[in-house]
Every structure is written in structure tokens, then in C-alpha cells.
Chain A
Amino acid sequence: MNISDRFDFDVVIMGAGLAGMSAAVKMAEDHPNLKVALLSKVHPVRSHSGAAQGGINAAVAADDKWQDHYYDTLKGGWFLGDQDAVRILTEQAPQAIFELDRWGTAFDRLADGNFAQRPFGGQRRNRTCYVQDLTGHALLTTMYEQTVKKGVAVFDEWFAFALVADDGAFRGFLAFDLKSGRLGWFGARAGLIATGGAGRIFGQSSNALINTGDGMALALRAGAPLKDIEFFQTHPTGLQNGILITEGARGEGGYLINKDNERFMERYAPKFMELAPRDLVARSIHTEITEGRGFDDGCVRLDLRHLGAEKIKERLPQIREIAMYFAGVDPIEAPIPVRPTVHYTMGGIHADVDCATPIRGLFAAGEAACISVHGANRLGGNSLLETIVYGLRAAQTIPASLDGAPPAPAAAIEREMDKFRALFADGDGESVPALRREMVRIMTAGFGLKREEKGMVKELVEIDALAERAKNVRVREKNLVFNIELVRALELGCMVDVGRACAHASLPRRESRGSHFRYDYPKMDNAKFLKHSLVRQDAGGALHLDYLPVTIVDVPPLDEIKY
């Protein structure tokens, strides 16, 4: 099993969702002489960005200002977001919307021609631009169209399994082509990781099945730390199989109801009700269910019936379709069973406001990165925004950073190839499906919605043990063409690494902040924990935890978050 193709690029982007494609398209527009490649394990239009339904935030209305969006984002993130990064996100948001419009996205409009904007949780006004209820799909389509227009080199269905760094600098990726089975070395002067989140480590997740944290794990193994990886947002309303019912449904006026027919959010957030921040809504639902006020199926209900058939059909067609096909419920006639579902990875590869990681030449953007715009909890409508704003930004900072092109580091590449070949070694190994089930159990039991010392200490030992077992996974099929067994094995390794980092960062954060809610430490503790966690993995696989101060510019953090 040897490398059959050797490619030489200026920039290789791993991940072809919205962040990766935004960067590629903008580089093609502004730096047409650069050789840029997009590498993705699925075709770009199959990326998880397309699943985002609700919208994208920007202060584009005449009576709105980015400073308000900035404050709402900081507060929603429990002040863990870096203020310089959040400023870039919110100040450049309107320009991102105009750029998307120019590229062909058909945003919904008001009668006067302005962008229609819907209300989303944690924001003091309607600020979320949208395309029906398939905003992510529409944006992803637009960006793909632009990659076609600009002739971006797309290596779709190439699975990257190793990131090679040498002497503290990024050198390239190793990947295989699922369609042909060819093995490629993608040498480049810079790399951008834009592989999205890792929600799959929890099993019950709204994330696509492909969201296994591959890019995060590759960066971690190469020496880049994961930042704030203890923060996984749980979306309040997923179907039983994890498929998401967007916040847009509540934005349009949906009610959350328990089995006693109460709009129970009145008890938890009387002012914002169903539109309180996601973590609060998720925990409220969780509390209702654990205190016996859920329905027999372990869910509460999302009731849209009072909106009427016409509004549901016009404004929420995709939600209606999802409820009908995946839960067997037509929301015009009956309320939808929903329960909390792991939805978004706030943490990720440690990157600065230029998307640069501590590995020279390695950049990260989108959900895979933690530039720290979402802090401890992301506002709805800010994830699509981050992919565009920071994808476009990476397209400026990466070309500006490029220096020489050193030759491929043969020894380092060979070491990674040996690890890859070892997966196919003879003899019995661990079963991928069994380990995967165990990983999901550990992460959910120890590091899900209910986090407390005792459970975490126990499951931390378990996840470390699982990581050892995961080293002995064996793949029997040696042909690489659409080798799902191999894909699953590689993904398992990535998920276990990210899960382990999450576990090691979660336990010592003895406070509650945003998505990280500790039943044993229910209060936010700015004195001790207004800081980013950084988990680094050394060459021997041991994890090291450090902390980094939060960048405060002009907004003093509150000591209590109230809505």
C-alpha cells in the first residue's frame, strides 16, 4: 500500500462545507495565481452546512447596528468569546450577506426590498436573514456554484487520514480517493482545516453522520491544541433520532408543552419564553423530562398548530416534511415530539483571529476551529455567519502568510503511512461498531447534559481505556475503493481523540458556563474560570491541559447571565 499520487499546491483545504468553500472561492477571486485544492470526504454539496435551516445573523437592517449583535453574541457566549474575534464576526456580517447575495443566494425579502429577518434566541431584535427554512442548503448551493464558476480544484470523496507537520510547520495531508482507491500526498505551503464539528461522539446528535471531528483530531495529533473543547451545544429540539427541528419553528411562534399541557418555559425564562438561549431551553426540557413531566416517549412537545396550516406550509415547509418523514407527525395536525440533541461544537482547533493555529502554515475555520466567537454557547444564526466571515478572512490571511515551499518530509510521511498500513495488519482486532457504541455511552453518561464530578471521573477512566483499545482496530477489506469499514475505523479514531480531549477539559472546569452545566457547580465563576482551556496531545498520546486568558476589549464580563 503505497502513495500513488503526489500533488503540490500552495494551499490545501480539508473540508468543503461553507467555511472551506468560502475560503477557496475568495482565494480564487482575489489570488487567481495561487494553486488551491479542496479536499473533502464527501462531495461539497453533501456537507453538513447544508443542514442548517434557520438563518444567518447580520445587522443589515437600517435601525440595527453591529455593536448590538456584538453584545448579544458575547452575552450569549457567557463572555467566554474573545471580543476581538466577535467584533470581526459581527462587524463584517453585513458585508458577508451582500457578498452571498452577489454570488446568487436568494435571501427572502420584505415588500420594501430589504432582507427579511426572523427573530432568533438570545437576540434583542430580528436579525436572522434566511432563505425559506433551508438557509444552509441555499448558501451551500451558492458556494458550490461559485467553486464551479471559478474552477476550484475539488478532490471530492478523498478521505484525509493524516496531517503531516515537520519542525512545527504544516507540510501536507495524506488522503485516499474513495472512488479510485488511489493514495495521495497533498503537499502544500499552507493548510486550512474546515471539517466542521464532532457531534457524532455523543450519538444522539443533530449532526450529519460524517461529523466525526476528523480535522480536529488530525490537528490535535500533529500538535495543535483544541480550545474550549468541553463546550458542546445541545439543541433543545431534536426528534428522537436526533434530526433537528430548527429554532425557526420557535422563532415563528411555536410553543413548548409538557404532558400537563403547560408552556413550561414560563418557569425558566418568563421574558424570552421559547426563545431563551439554547442551553437554557435544553436544560429546561431536560428538567421537565427528568422530573416526570415529559411524555411516555421521553420527549416534550413542540406545538405549531396555532400558527395555522398556511403559515406552516409557507414558512416552515422543511420542518413539516422532516416531522412527517422522520417522526410520522404532521405538525399542522399534531405537536412534534422533541428532546435535547447534541448540536454544535463550540470548541475546536485553537486559532487566532487570522485563523492561524500554533502550527506554522496551518489554519482553521468554521466549526472545526475555535477562534472563539461563540464562547461557551453559540447563538442561533451565528454558525453560518462564522463559516462565511472567517472563511473569507482565511482567504486574505493565508495568502499573506505564505513563504517558501520546503520539500516533502519523507520520514514523517512514511511514519504516517506505517500507521495507516497497520490498520490492515493480520490477526484479530477490536470491532469498530462495538467500540463506537461504547464511546457514545461514555460521552453521553459522563459528558452529556448532566455533568458532575463523580460521573466524569468514572467515565474519564473509561474513555482513556477506550482510546487504548481503539489502537487495535483492524480492517479486513484491503481494497480502498468505498471501503466503508476503513472509513468507519478512521472516523472512530478521530472521535475517540476528540472525545478524550473533551473529557479532560470538562472535569477541571468546576463551574457552569453556557453549554457546560455542572450540577455540582451550578454557578459561573469568573474569578477562576473566565479562561479558555487548551488541550494538547504529545507524541506519546498523553494529554496536557493549559489555560489561556479571554480577550476582553470593551465589554466587562457579567458575573451572572440573565435573560
Chain B
Amino acid sequence: MKAVFDIYRKRPDEKAGRRQKFEIEVAPGITLLDAFHRIQADHDPTFAYRYSCRGAICGSCAVHINGVAALACKTQAAPLAEKGEIVVDPLGNLPAVKDLVVEFAPFWEAFEKVRPYVLRPAETHDYQFTWHDKLDKKHQDQLSRAILCIKCAACFSDCPKRAQDPRFIGPAASVALYKFYYDPRDVDRAERVAIARESGSGVVACDSHANCVKVCPKDCRPLRAINIIRQELPAAE
């Protein structure tokens, strides 16, 4: 069937973008990313977008599809085309560079704010410990979800709190914080508590809109991670 794509276009040297429509034949099985490749190959070689794995594991191709952040490679075109024109825009909360490509720097800055790595590994490392067993079911489940995060920035893009307050680290960085907050290999819990509690930027600033849970292509449930940390934060001194 025919699909009409209404796509945001912007040259790197332009301030404001414009829109352009492309008509593509889409059989079942064709994803939005497949359609982008066809537009680039057959209609406009200058069309710019990010891609790598085309299998929903690298996190490159998140864009706004009909106003909601999603991975282009994981979105079938035909079912959307049946409903009408497919409106494609770059992610929100990040500056546009060219067409669907956005500047990721603010996303990575927020991510690095939570110091996303084992801060201080235990000195004598015991490779025999069962670290999942040190956690209850709730944490085992949420931790396995935290590992799934592909840093596609879909949640960051659609976070109303981040739009309102650019100090807020956003959902993905909160998931990373969660991952290390509960890692029994990391002996430095106090640092994590401080990051979580930081006024404006920490998870305490989240307004619980829950868009992150809806748009996450890997079902990481960032708000759940945020809520668990918030509930378990020790009382402020």
C-alpha cells in the first residue's frame, strides 16, 4: 500500500525547519527505517537520519512518529499508513541538527551526571557471590529492566519535566542511577544518595508524568526505578 510521510526537514545551515512529503510503497514487514532508506536512496540523497543496527538494540533511530517518540526500526509502516499520513519529526528536548538528526550532547551530559559506573569496587573482590540473591524480587526485576536501556533518548525527548527544567537528569539517567544504586559490587552508596537527592536535577525532581514508561522501546520502566529510589532514600539529615 501507499504511505505518505510528512517529514521535518532542516539543512544544517538553516535556523528554521520546513516540511516535506514523500509517497512510498510499503508492504507489510517494512519499517519506518526501511522507508527512510528508500527516501534517501530513491528520492533525496541529502535526507539525514541516524541508524545502525535496525534491530532495536543500538538506540540510534528514535524519532517522533505522529508526535510520540519511538524507534523507527521497530515501527511497522503499513498499519500507520492505514490511519493516514505518517508525521515524522526529530526527538524533543534536544536541538535539531539536520532533518531527523538531533544533538545528543544534553542527553549524555545528564547521563554522566549520575556517574554511571561502579564508583568504588569492593577491595577484595569475591567472584563467588550471588549478587541477584542479595536483592528481593522487585529489585531483581527492575535491575534486569535497567540493563535493557539502549540510550535512545525516547524517554528524555518526551519528558515534560525535562522540558520545563533542563536541570533534571531525565528518565534514562535515572535508570542508570538505579542500576548502580543497587549494585552490591559498588560499596559507595552515599554518593548515589546525594545524586538522587540533588535539588532540581536528581530523581526527587521527577513529576511522575510517566511518559517515559509509555515510550520506552525496551520496557525499562524508568518511573518505576525513580519511585523505588525515592521510596528508599534515607531520610535527609
Chain A residues near B (Cβ < 8 Å): 42-43, 45-48, 50-51, 98, 101-104, 106, 109-114, 131-132, 134, 137-138, 141, 145-146, 148-149, 179, 181, 208-210, 240-241, 243-244, 318, 321-322, 325-328, 432-433, 476-477, 479, 481-485, 488
Top-8 shortest CB links A-B: A481-B12, A485-B45, A149-B117, A482-B48, A433-B41, A113-B130, A145-B117, A46-B58
What chain B residues lie within 8 Å of A325 (beta carbons)? 56, 74, 76
Closest CB of chain A to B93's CB: distance in Å? 17
The closest CB in chain B to the CB of A146 belongs to: B117
Decide if B133 is an interface residue (CB 8 Å cutoff).
yes
Can you identify 13 A-B contacts, CB atoms within 8 angstroms? A46-B53, A46-B58, A46-B59, A51-B55, A101-B127, A104-B118, A109-B132, A112-B130, A137-B148, A209-B52, A477-B45, A483-B48, A485-B46
Decide if B54 is an interface residue (CB 8 Å cutoff).
yes
Across the interface, B52 reaches (CB within 8 A) one of A208, A243, A477, A483, namely: A208
Closest CB of chain B to A482's CB: distance in Å? 4
Interface of chain B, main secondary structure: loop
Interchain CA distance A111-B128 in the complex, whole Å: 10
What chain A residues lie within 8 Å of B200 (beta carbons)? none
What chain B residues lie within 8 Å of A210 (beta carbons)? 51-52
Chain B residues near A (Cβ < 8 Å): 11-13, 28-29, 31, 40-42, 45-60, 74, 76, 97-99, 101, 103-104, 112, 115-118, 121, 125, 127-133, 143-144, 147-151, 180, 183, 185-186
Interchain CA distance A452-B191 in the complex, whole Å: 63
Interchain CA distance A393-B195 in the complex, whole Å: 36
Decide if A482 touches B101 in the complex (CB within 8 Å).
yes
Closest CB of chain B to A43's CB: distance in Å? 7
Interchain CA distance A14-B186 in the complex, whole Å: 31
Closest CB of chain B to A461's CB: distance in Å? 26
User: Taking A51-B53, A51-B57 as contacts, is the C-beta distance between A106 and B131 under 8 angstroms?
Assistant: yes
Interchain CA distance A210-B74 in the complex, whole Å: 17
User: Taking A50-B58, A102-B125 as contacts, is the C-beta distance between A45 and B150 under 8 angstroms?
Assistant: yes
Decide if A243 touches B54 in the complex (CB within 8 Å).
yes
The closest CB in chain A to the CB of B151 belongs to: A45
Interchain CA distance A285-B147 in the complex, whole Å: 34
What chain A residues lie within 8 Å of B121 (beta carbons)? 102
Interchain CA distance A488-B98 in the complex, whole Å: 17
Across the interface, B147 reaches (CB within 8 A) one of A47, A98, A141, namely: A141
Decide if A484 touches B48 in the complex (CB within 8 Å).
yes
Interchain CA distance A479-B11 in the complex, whole Å: 9
Interchain CA distance A152-B9 in the complex, whole Å: 34
Decide if B58 touches A208 in the complex (CB within 8 Å).
yes
Decide if B150 touches A209 in the complex (CB within 8 Å).
no
Closest CB of chain B to A371's CB: distance in Å? 25
Decide if A479 touches B47 in the complex (CB within 8 Å).
no
Across the interface, A134 reaches (CB within 8 A) one of B13, B46, B147, namely: B147
Closest CB of chain A to B140's CB: distance in Å? 11
The closest CB in chain A to the CB of B126 belongs to: A113
7 further contact pairs, Cβ within 8 A, besides A51-B53, A104-B183, A484-B45 = A102-B185, A106-B183, A131-B147, A179-B103, A325-B56, A326-B55, A476-B46
Interchain CA distance A112-B127 in the complex, whole Å: 11
The closest CB in chain A to the CB of B56 belongs to: A325
A-B contacts, CB under 8 A, total: 151
What chain B residues lie within 8 Å of A488 (beta carbons)? 40
What chain A residues lie within 8 Å of B185 (beta carbons)? 101-102, 104
The closest CB in chain B to the CB of A147 belongs to: B117
| Most chain A CB atoms below 10 A, which of B45, B74, B103 | B45
Closest CB of chain B to A101's CB: distance in Å? 6
Interchain CA distance A23-B231 in the complex, whole Å: 40
Closest CB of chain B to A479's CB: distance in Å? 6
Interchain CA distance A210-B185 in the complex, whole Å: 35
Interchain CA distance A139-B221 in the complex, whole Å: 21
Interchain CA distance A179-B74 in the complex, whole Å: 25
The closest CB in chain A to the CB of B54 belongs to: A209
What chain B residues lie within 8 Å of A131 (beta carbons)? 147
Across the interface, B46 reaches (CB within 8 A) one of A50, A318, A477, namely: A477
Interchain CA distance A43-B61 in the complex, whole Å: 12
The closest CB in chain A to the CB of B130 belongs to: A113
| Most chain A CB atoms below 10 A, which of B48, B49, B74, B121 | B48
Interchain CA distance A42-B180 in the complex, whole Å: 26
Decide if B13 touches A322 in the complex (CB within 8 Å).
no
What chain A residues lie within 8 Å of B52 (beta carbons)? 42, 46-48, 208-210
What chain A residues lie within 8 Å of B11 (beta carbons)? 479
User: Taking A51-B53, A181-B12 as contacts, is the C-beta distance between A328 and B29 under 8 angstroms?
Assistant: yes
What chain B residues lie within 8 Å of A318 (beta carbons)? 57
User: Taking A50-B58, A109-B132 as contacts, is the C-beta distance between A104 and B28 under 8 angstroms?
Assistant: no
Decide if B60 touches A46 in the complex (CB within 8 Å).
yes
Decide if A50 touches B53 in the complex (CB within 8 Å).
yes
What chain A residues lie within 8 Å of B42 (beta carbons)? 433
What chain B residues lie within 8 Å of A104 (beta carbons)? 117-118, 180, 183, 185-186
Decide if B117 touches A109 in the complex (CB within 8 Å).
no
What chain B residues lie within 8 Å of A138 (beta carbons)? 147
Across the interface, B144 reaches (CB within 8 A) one of A132, A244, A432, namely: A132
The closest CB in chain A to the CB of B105 belongs to: A179
Closest CB of chain A to B192's CB: distance in Å? 14
Decide if B147 touches A322 in the complex (CB within 8 Å).
no
Closest CB of chain B to A219's CB: distance in Å? 22
Interchain CA distance A103-B120 in the complex, whole Å: 10
Interchain CA distance A43-B103 in the complex, whole Å: 12
What chain A residues lie within 8 Å of B148 (beta carbons)? 134, 137
Across the interface, B57 reaches (CB within 8 A) one of A42, A111, A114, A134, namely: A134
User: Taking A104-B118, A148-B112 as contacts, is the C-beta distance between A45 and B59 under 8 angstroms?
Assistant: yes
What chain B residues lie within 8 Å of A433 (beta carbons)? 41-42
Interchain CA distance A307-B227 in the complex, whole Å: 35
Closest CB of chain A to B189's CB: distance in Å? 15
User: Taking A48-B53, A479-B11 as contacts, is the C-beta distance between A113 and B129 under 8 angstroms?
Assistant: yes
Closest CB of chain A to B95's CB: distance in Å? 11
What chain A residues lie within 8 Å of B112 (beta carbons)? 148
Decide if B47 touches A179 in the complex (CB within 8 Å).
no
Decide if B29 touches A148 in the complex (CB within 8 Å).
no
Closest CB of chain B to A49's CB: distance in Å? 10
Across the interface, B128 reaches (CB within 8 A) one of A42, A114, A179, namely: A114
Closest CB of chain B to A425's CB: distance in Å? 16
Interchain CA distance A109-B134 in the complex, whole Å: 12
What chain B residues lie within 8 Å of A50 (beta carbons)? 53, 57-58, 150
| Most chain B CB atoms below 10 A, which of A138, A210, A479, A482 | A482
Interchain CA distance A244-B53 in the complex, whole Å: 11
Interchain CA distance A132-B97 in the complex, whole Å: 36
Closest CB of chain A to B107's CB: distance in Å? 10
The closest CB in chain B to the CB of A210 belongs to: B52
What chain B residues lie within 8 Å of A113 (beta carbons)? 128-130, 133
Interchain CA distance A482-B100 in the complex, whole Å: 10
